Every structure is written in structure tokens, then in C-alpha cells.
Amino acid sequence: MIHKRTQAKWEEPLILNKGGAGRRAYIPESVNLPKETIPDEWIRKSPLELPQVSELELVRHVVRLSQMIHGVDVGPYPLGSCTMKYNPKINERIARFPGFADMHPQAPEQSIQGTLEVFFWLQETLKKLTGFDAVTIQPPGGASGEFTGVLVIKAYHEARNDTKRDTIIIPDSAHGTNPASAAMAGFKVIEIPSTEDGYVDLEALKSVLTENIAGFMITNPNTLGLFEPNIQEICKMVHDVGGLNYLDGANFNGIVGVIKPAKMGFDVMHMNLHKTFTGPHGGGGPGSGPVAVSEKLRKYLPVPIAAKKDQTFYWDFSNKKTSIGKVHGYNGNFGIALRALLYILRNGGPGLRKTCETAVLNANYLLHHVRQINGLTIPKGKNVPCKHEFVASASKLLKETGVSTNDIAKAMLDYGVHSPTVYFPLIIKEALMIEPTESESKQSLDLIADVFKEITKLAYSDPDSVKNSPHLTSTGRLDEVTLAKKPVLSQLIEKKDIFS
Amino acid sequence: MKVGLICNPIAGVGIFLGTKGTDNVQLAWEKISEGLDPPVYKIINRTLCQLKSLKRPIQFFTTFNINKVLQSCNFSLPFEVCYSMPNHSTSQNTIEAVQIFVEKKVDLIIFFGGDGTASDVAKTAPYIPIIGIPSGVKIFSAGFLHTPDDLLQILQNWPLPVKKELLVDLDEKLYEKGKIVPKYTVEATLPVNPRIQLGKISYGESDELVYERIAERINEDKMLSNKSILVGAGSTFYKIFEFLNLEKTLLGIDYYVNGELRIKDLDPSKFDNLEIDELWVTPIGRQGHLIGRGNRQISPEILKKIGLKNLKVFSTPEKSKDLEKLYIDTQDSEVDLLFKGFVQVIIGYYESVLKKVE
């Protein structure tokens, strides 16, 4: 019997509905800007609608909200392909140093030497880890990194007047954003099927390799947590028809410090600093999706790149004529870049290798236990160890009890464990994509396994109890349809009723 | 193992009547009297000849002398004709024959026919597993082999797990008028195996954009220009062509030249004289058949000329998602082989999915 967790349940109103007129948590210093310097149309005609609360009200509000959610600081968070690892608190402390936190993005180079140095060394460390020749930190997230990488591929072919290449090949076990990124860049997409074992079907790949192929995008380890055994052969096949190979590095945590992607035959890859390198995430950002490329693609990367001459750091615009241009307002989400560099330097090469090995070991330990649970199956990768994650299916459980993957996901919250990623990848029915990360201890892994066991057992004895879960959280099941179709993003927007 | 084997002699004649089924028995027999060789005979021959490699003893109860068929492939099987089909047989005769199979306590009934025959067999023997050899015009029900060539493997691996499923038959009169109104007829006992097809499902996409996006791609890539194209049946094309502002019959095969509709709802006699650059098809929902279901009027000879590289496949994303593989049943094993491999299924403005054809 596992102890359940009862989440706090506060009747907490929105902050705009708290407090009273004139209350303040913070009184800024008055600024005497000469009025004539601001154009009349820029000056507010009505007061800004801000919450009016005291500091105590504000603190209680955010503390109560924090008690009604789940996060990696509360309990295990095995959300597959999202790499919800622990975010070291020392990163947060250093990110708050005034020299970093108060930096203006348009400050002149000579006054941001430290910031440039962070960018530069992050580029250098990522080059070292990936085996590539050049890196941009500019893309502000994973999908943005993909888009950047695909634009680089496009620029490469266009520069060679090879304009017939209009298609990108993507396996069905890739991340869902891959086809969207390729399409956004103006490519057609061919999705190819996986084999029974979950790997790229070489015959299928061969059948679509023509002179129209611009590139091949693959996630490796793939979304099943399996490392593609034929990756070098695949990359060679694509190169042989003139295409380029793109690695989606969202699952980099399964190989970081062990394999350099450039050695597998890739030409370009993106990484998710907020996943592999401990940027706090899960609330929609900010993220960071640096792109690393081989030498022949260097000149197409977004500009500027952080560079160093003698002891001075500077923004290098030298490739601006061949560059695909900027992909972000400034030069990347610096806060996440800084945390990533801190994490990399504090671990060092051997440390990163150890984190990777531990992540893989943890996933396999959990896989071993989940494999034995009645109602759950592991449809792919039957005779091989997984990498950092694996995918279970609750199809059997659904058939035998009526309890679905979604029900399991909800029930887990009552045990203080976040759900895995559900219903993805699409090639597995009733998928539960489980990634414990290296952060979790053996006790945590045992807890996750026990939670799966207890819920599936309950599904057979009292399925309605699971179907109606969670029972102990601040809110029960949400109306997900209304949530998706009519999201209320802020109370101000709701007040103005912009959706009606 | 005891197997009942029955054949509907008029199965598939509807193709030569220009109708979408063979519900009109009288017209079918008239066509045969005029000299049409019943198309089912070829299928029987092809199906039974493969049993030469059968490695298990089977006692067949039949409605015809199967060794007469097997003469062409130089072998024989033990059988007993337990019911003789009269000339101009009807569905009543099918029912009577199956009743005798039930009395003989057969383990499995194999029938040559379409959805109509399937219903007649199942309602007489609801508890005996049945397998259909695709021979009719309408073959939308579950329980048919994907191709007759699969029978040997099924018999070698018998017994198979079974399930109960409602069979479906389309109302032929409404079907002729372009209305697909499925009529659930009877619950049958069906073996479960990847070689046996699932029942058709209609995927009515509520989002019209799905069709508009495919139409946009056809326009942008000038897919209809400077080509003579046969476009297959089905609601997927019907809706895509609405967005192309081109007329398209729901259930017929239509012929387009350089983006203009030239011939509507072609009958088999017209195909031979046409210049055909491409054949466009859409898979049958959940079944996955590209050829051989709903478009049997395209003969193996025509398909041989077209070839896999000139086959273009279109689908909505939802329909495609549920199809692991696609199937071809051209009525000719050699032509089936020509179409095996991988085919790109266009599912949107920019996206295609590669599927294996079996």
C-alpha cells in the first residue's frame, strides 16, 4: 500500500479579485521623464489595470497556488521526451546575479563581456558535446531550433542551385513538431513507417530516396526510447542522394557525453537546453533550442554568433550575407543558456556521461518493473534495452477493464507522481511514454513502479474508482474540450470577451 | 478438419452489368446465358490451385466437383458434393447448402461471393466460422481474405481465434443512386488474422479543410495537367473534387484529361480504348484496399499497363492513421505482385505518408 498525497485545496480567487483599492506590494521609485520626449499617442489615457494587493496577500496567493500544482520539486515527473530533470538551485542563484539578471539586451558589446563570454563558451561546449563545427544559441525553443535547422538545409541547397529538392523525409516515430517545422520552411513531408521493432524501415526509406530529397529528420533515440541501430547506414543512404541529415536532439539526454551526433553522419541538429541541460520548464517556456551544424553549413546559421578575439568577446556578423537571418528578437534566451552552461561546466565531460548513463539505467530499471505489470505491455523494442525512456501501452488494460491511459494519468496524481506523456507516439495505442531521468533515486523509481502496479490492480477490482480519479487534487478532471477550444489566457482577455 | 466450400455462381457478374452489385439475380443469369463466363470460375481456380501445397488433411464438403477445377493444376483433393446447385440458383440455394454443412458439422465454411453471399451463409450458420473469398462486386464486410492467395496460409494455421461481428451489406438501389447506406445484416463468427479484412468504416471528416488542403496541393502541383487520369470511387475524392470545382461521381470511376472530366462512371468495356497515364485511388476505410474493393471494373490487364509508379493514392489523415498496410486484390496473382511495395499516400497540403502495399 502506497501513501497517497492530498493536494492543498484553496478557494483561491484570481489576483485581480483580491485585495482592495490602493494596496501595494511594491512601490517603484518615481521617474521624472520629461513629458515632451514621449509622443502623445504613447501616453496612457486610463490607469493600467494592475492587481492591488499587499505583499502578504501576494505571497499567500503564490504560495497557495504553488501548493495546488505538481512540479519536479514536489514529486517524480516521468514525462516522456520532456526530460523533467531536477533544476539545480545553484543555477537559480547564479542566474539572479545582478550582472546577468539586470543586463539589457541592447547593451553595447564592451559592457556585456561576461554575457558574451557565456554565449561563447556555451557554443564551444556544445560543439564539443555534439562534434559539430558551429553553433547558434539564437532559437528560443526546440521547434524553433528545428525550423532554424531546416532553413539552414534549404539555404544550403539553394546556394548550390539545387532547387528541385522540395521534400523532407521523417519517420513516424519522430517528434510531432518535425513535420510542422519542415512544412513551415516550405518543404513537403513524407512520413515513413517503422519496422515491427520500432526502427526506421530501410526498405521504406530506400523507396523514397530520390533527387528531390532535401533532407531526413530523425529523433535518435526515437520517441520509443530506442537507439537506431542502422543510423550510420541511414545517414549514408541520404547523403548518397544528396540529402542532408537532421537530428532532433530533444532526446539528447539518452546519449549526451557518450556519442557525438556528428560522428553518426548528421549534418545539423538542435538541442533543448531546457531539457538536457536543466533549464526549468513545463510552463510554456522560455526554452532554448541551439542548432549545431557541420562546417559546410556554418555560413547559413543565424547571425550574430558570439566570437572571441584575443581576450575580447564580440558579436560576429561576418556571415550576414549567407545567413538565413535572425530567428529571434535578440540573441537567444540568455537565462536558459546561462543555466545550461553552469550545468555543463559543473558536471564536466565525465559527469555528463555519468548523468546520461544514470538516466538510461533508471529508465531500464523502471522498464523491467513495468514490463511485469498486468494490463501494461511494451509493444516495441522487446529484446533490447531502452535508452532514457520507454513506451508502454495500456491497450490490454483498456480492453479488460475499460480503464484507459488517460485514467491512469489522472490517477497517478493522487500518489504525488506526475503522469508520463500520454497517447504519444501515435504509433502505439494507449501509449504511456515514461522518462524518469537521472534525477530520481531507486526509491523514487520503486514508487513510480508501485503506483503503476496499484492503479492497474485497482482497475481490475474497482475500475470506476480509477475512471473517476483524481480524488485528492485541488481540481478534478477538467473540461478539456472547452479548455482547448475556448482558452481563457487571462482574466483581462476574458473581460473583453475577445472570443465572442 | 472438415470444411464446407460453396460458390455463388453469379458473384461478380454485376461488374459486367454496369451495376454496383449483383442483387438482380435474373439479369445476372441472363448475362451468363448470353455467353459471359462467370467471373467467379477464374477466382475458384486461382484459389484452389494453391492448395497443392497444403500440408494437412482436410475433408471438403462442396456444392461442385472441385477436382474438375483442380485438373488445370494437376492435383486433387478429397471432397464430397453434398448439395448440387441447380441452374439459375438463388440465395435460397446457398442457404440450403449451408444447412447441410451445418448438419455435417464442418469446422469452417469458405464461400466464393460478395457481401450478399456472406449474409446468406452467416444467417444460416451463425456459430460456424466463415471466410469469404473475394469474388463479388460489393466486398465491404469483414471476414473476406485480402486476396484469394491467402487461403493456403489460413488453412495451414487453422484453428484461428474467432470473434463475433455484424456483417454489412449496402442497399444496392440506394448505392446505385450514390448513397452509401450500410445495412447491418447478421452477426457472423469470423476468424481473426491479418490476412482477413476488417469491415469498412466511413471516415466522414468533420473538418472540410482536410479536403480543401489536398485539393490545394493538386492544384499547386498541377497534378491534373497534361495527363489522362482515371479517378476511383469514394467520398474522399467526391469531396476533394468539389474543392477543385470538378464534377466527380461518388461511386464510379471517372476519366479526366488535362483537368477536364471526359467520361463519367466508366464501365469495363470502355477501358481498353483509353489512354491512361495515372490511376488515382483512395483506400477503403479501415480495410485498406486500394484495388479490388469498390473498383473491380478495372481489369488486371489495365492495371498491368498502369503499374505501381503511376498509381497515386489520396486519403484523409484520419483514415490513413488507422491503416497500417494497404492491400491490392487485382484478381490476378501476377499483377498483384507488380503493385507490392511502398506507396506514398497524400494526406494534406504538404504531407504524405508512406505505406506498405501487400
Q: What is the pLDDT of residues A5-39, one digit of tens each?
A: 899 999 999 898 899 999 999 888 888 877 778 88
Residue B132: phi, psi to the nearest 5?
-95, 135
What residues of A are in contact with residue B356 (Cβ under 8 Å)? 193, 204
DSSP code at position B132: E
Nearest CA to CA, how far is B341 from chain A (Å)? Answer: 8
What is d(CA B18, CA A445) in angstroms, rounded to the nearest whole number?
A: 66
A180 touches chain B (CB under 8 A): no
Per-residue pLDDT, B225: 95
Per-residue pLDDT, A499: 47
What is d(CA A349, CA A122) in angstroms, rounded to the nearest whole number?
A: 14
pTM, full prediction: 0.87
Nearest CA to CA, how far is B206 from chain A (Å)? Answer: 15
Q: How far is CA B266 from CA B140, B233, B237, in A?
A: 21, 11, 16
Please report, rounded to a whole number, the percentage of residues in chain B having pLDDT higher than 70: 95
3-state secondary structure B291-323: ECCCCCCCCHHHHHHHCHHHEEEECCHHHHHCC
As a residue count, chain A comes to: 500
Indicate the range of A81-95, A225-239, A274-288, A431-445 predicted with least confidence. Answer: A274-288
Q: How many angstroms from the chain centroid is the CA of residue B284?
A: 10
B161-B167-B172 Cα angle (round to 5): 155
pLDDT, mean of residues B143-150:
92
Most B CBs within 10 Å, among A154, A170, A188, to test the B interface? A188
What is d(CA A418, CA A402) in angstroms, rounded to the nearest whole number?
A: 22
Whether A204 sits inside 8 A of B354 (CB atoms) is yes
A179 touches chain B (CB under 8 A): yes
Give the torsion sign (CA, A189, A190, A191, A195).
negative
Check if the beta carbon of residue B70 is closer than 8 Å to that of residue B48. Answer: yes
Hey, what amino acid is at B27? L
Most A CBs within 10 Å, among B353, B354, B356, B358, to test the A interface? B354
In the predicted structure, residue A139 carries a pLDDT above the cut 80: yes
Indicate the range of A94-98, A144-148, B295-299 predicted with least confidence. Answer: B295-299
Considering chain A, tell me which residue range(s) the CATH 3.40.640.10 domain(s) occupy. 98-346
Per-residue pLDDT, B180: 65
Residue A253: phi, psi to the nearest 5?
-60, -20
What is d(CA A220, CA A74) in angstroms, rounded to the nearest whole number?
A: 30
Say which residue the cell 470511376 belongs to: B253
Q: Which stretch of DSSP H or E encloses residue B122?
A: helix B115-124
Per-residue pLDDT, B96: 93
Closest-CA residue to A245 (of A217, A280, A273, A274): A217
Q: Which stretch of DSSP H or E encloses residue B32?
A: helix B25-33
Hey, what amino acid is at B346? I
Is B220 exposed, middle or buried, given 0-12, 13-18 or 19+ CB atoms closer than 10 A? exposed
Per-residue pLDDT, A316: 96
Please report, rounded to a whole number, the percentage of residues in chain A having pLDDT higher than 70: 98
Nearest CA to CA, how far is B18 from chain A (Å)? Answer: 37
Considering chain A, tell me which residue range(s) the CATH 3.90.1150.10 domain(s) occupy. 356-484
Give the torsion sign (CA, A358, A359, A364, A367).
positive
3-class DSSP state of B152: helix
What is d(CA A116, CA A361) in angstroms, rounded to the nearest whole number?
A: 37
Give the torsion sign (CA, B238, B244, B247, B252).
negative
Check if the beta carbon of residue A283 is closer than 8 Å to that of residue A254. Answer: no
Nearest CA to CA, how far is B186 from chain A (Å)? Answer: 24
Within 10 angstroms of residue A240's Cβ, the number of other Cβ atoms is 9
In the predicted structure, residue A426 carries a pLDDT above the cut 80: yes
Nearest CA to CA, how far is A365 from chain B (Å)? Answer: 31
DSSP code at position B38: P
Nearest CA in chain A to B354: A192
Whether A190 sits inside 8 A of B344 (CB atoms) is yes
Q: What pLDDT digit, counting tens, does each position of B275-308 carry? A: 999 999 999 988 899 998 888 888 888 899 898 8
C-alpha cell at A371: 514490463
Whether B352 sits inside 8 A of A207 (CB atoms) is no
What residues of A are in contact with residue B222 (Cβ under 8 Å)? none
Closest-CA residue to A274 (of A222, A188, A337, A181): A337
What residues of A are in contact with residue B352 (Cβ under 8 Å)? 188-191
A209 touches chain B (CB under 8 A): no
Whether B351 sits inside 8 A of A189 (CB atoms) is yes
Whether B351 sits inside 8 A of A204 (CB atoms) is no
Q: What pLDDT digit, counting tens, does each position of A167-193 carry? A: 999 999 888 899 999 999 999 999 999
Residues of B at the A interface, defined by Cβ within 8 angstroms: 321, 324, 341-342, 344, 349-356
A71-A129-A353 Cα angle (round to 5): 60
Q: Which stretch of DSSP H or E encloses residue B100?
A: helix B91-103
Check if the beta carbon of residue B308 is closer than 8 Å to that of residue B314. Answer: no
Domain residue limits, chain B: 2-191, 209-357
What residues of A are in contact with residue B341 (Cβ under 8 Å)? 207
Q: Between B324, B349, B353, which is nearest A191 by CB?
A: B353
3-state secondary structure chain A: CCCCCCCCCCCCCCHHHCCCCCCCCCCCCCCCCCHHHCCHHHCCCCCCCCCCCCHHHHHHHHHHHHHCCCCCCCCCCCECCCCCCCCCHHHHHHHCCHHHHCCCCCCCHHHCHHHHHHHHHHHHHHHHHHCCCEEECCCCCHHHHHHHHHHHHHHHHHHCCCCCCCEEEEECCCCCHHHHHHHHCCCEEEEECECCCCCECHHHHHHHCCCCEEEEEEECCCCCCCCCCCHHHHHHHHHHCCCEEEEEECCHHHCCCCCCHHHHCCCEEEECHHHHCCCCCCCCCCCCCCEEECHHHHHHCCCCEEEEECCEEEEECCCCCCCCCCCCCCCCCHHHHHHHHHHHHHHHHHHHHHHHHHHHHHHHHHHHHHHCCCCCECCCCCCCCCCCCEEEECHHHHHHHCCCHHHHHHHHHHHCCCCCEECCCCCCCCEEEECCCCCCCHHHHHHHHHHHHHHHHHHHHCHHHHHCCCCCCCCCCCCHHHHHHCCCCCHHHHHHCCCC
Across A369-383, B64-78, B169-183, which has the greatest mean pLDDT? A369-383
Note which residues in 151-170 of chain A have CB less than 8 A from chain B: none
Closest-CA residue to A141 (of A268, A270, A304, A329): A270
Nearest CA to CA, how far is A208 from chain B (Å)? Answer: 8
In the predicted structure, residue A500 carries a pLDDT above the cut 80: no
Check if the beta carbon of residue B297 is closer than 8 Å to that of residue B268. Answer: yes
DSSP code at position B125: -
Number of A to B CB contacts under 8 A, please give it: 40
Hey, what amino acid is at A231? I
Closest-CA residue to B200 (of B77, B283, B315): B283
Q: Which residues contact B160 (CB under 8 A, 6 or more apart)?
A: B129, B154, B191, B192, B193
Q: Domain A98-346, CATH 3.40.640.10 — does that match? A: yes
Most B CBs within 10 Å, among A201, A207, A212, A428, to test the B interface? A207
Per-residue pLDDT, B266: 85
Per-residue pLDDT, B204: 65
Give the torsion sign (CA, A41, A47, A51, A53).
positive
Buried b / exposed e over B39-60, threshold 16 CB at 10 Å, is bbbbbbebbbbbbeeeeeebeb
Q: Which residues contact A30 (CB under 8 A, 6 or more apart)?
A: none
Q: What pLDDT digit, counting tens, does each position of A234-258 carry? A: 999 999 999 999 999 999 999 999 9
What residues of B are in contact with residue A179 (Cβ under 8 Å)? 350-351
Nearest CA in chain B to A189: B351
What is d(CA B97, CA B295) in angstroms, rounded to the nearest whole number?
A: 30
Check if the beta carbon of residue B253 is closer than 8 Å to that of residue B266. Answer: yes
Check if the beta carbon of residue A444 is closer than 8 Å to that of residue A76. Answer: yes
Say which residue, B83 or A155, is predicted with more confidence.
A155
C-alpha cell at A469: 480519479
In the predicted structure, residue A81 carries a pLDDT above the cut 80: yes
Closest-CA residue to B167 (of B154, B183, B145, B148): B183
What residues of A are in contact with residue B342 (Cβ under 8 Å)? 203-204, 207-208
Residue A15: phi, psi to the nearest 5?
-65, -30
3-class DSSP state of B151: helix
Per-residue pLDDT, A231: 97
Nearest CA to CA, how far is B353 from chain A (Å)? Answer: 5
A399 touches chain B (CB under 8 A): no
What is d(CA A275, CA A406) in angstroms, rounded to the nearest whole number?
A: 24
A428 touches chain B (CB under 8 A): no
Task: Give the mean pLDDT of chain B.
Answer: 88
Residue ranges of E strands in chain B: 2-7, 59-62, 79-81, 108-113, 130-134, 162-170, 182-191, 228-231, 254-257, 260-263, 278-281, 289-291, 311-314, 325-328, 341-346, 351-357
Most B CBs within 10 Å, among A167, A190, A202, to test the B interface? A190
- The CATH classification number of A356-484 equals 3.90.1150.10
C-alpha cell at A264: 553518426
Buried b / exposed e over A262-291, threshold 16 CB at 10 Å, is bebbbbbbbbbbbbbbbbbbbeeebbbbbb
Whether A189 sits inside 8 A of B356 (CB atoms) is no
C-alpha cell at B85: 446447385
What is d(CA B62, CA B100) in angstroms, rounded to the nearest whole number?
A: 10
In the predicted structure, residue B345 carries a pLDDT above the cut 90: yes
Q: What is the CA radius of gyration of chain A?
A: 25
A446 touches chain B (CB under 8 A): no
What is d(CA A101, CA A167) in angstroms, rounded to the nearest whole number?
A: 43
3-state secondary structure B215-245: HHHHHHCCCCCCCEEEECCCHHHHHHHHHCC
In the predicted structure, residue B15 carries a pLDDT above the cut 70: yes
Q: What pLDDT digit, counting tens, does each position of B147-174 carry? A: 999 999 999 999 999 999 988 877 767 7
Indicate the range of A375-384, A423-432, B15-24, B294-303 predicted with least confidence. Answer: B15-24
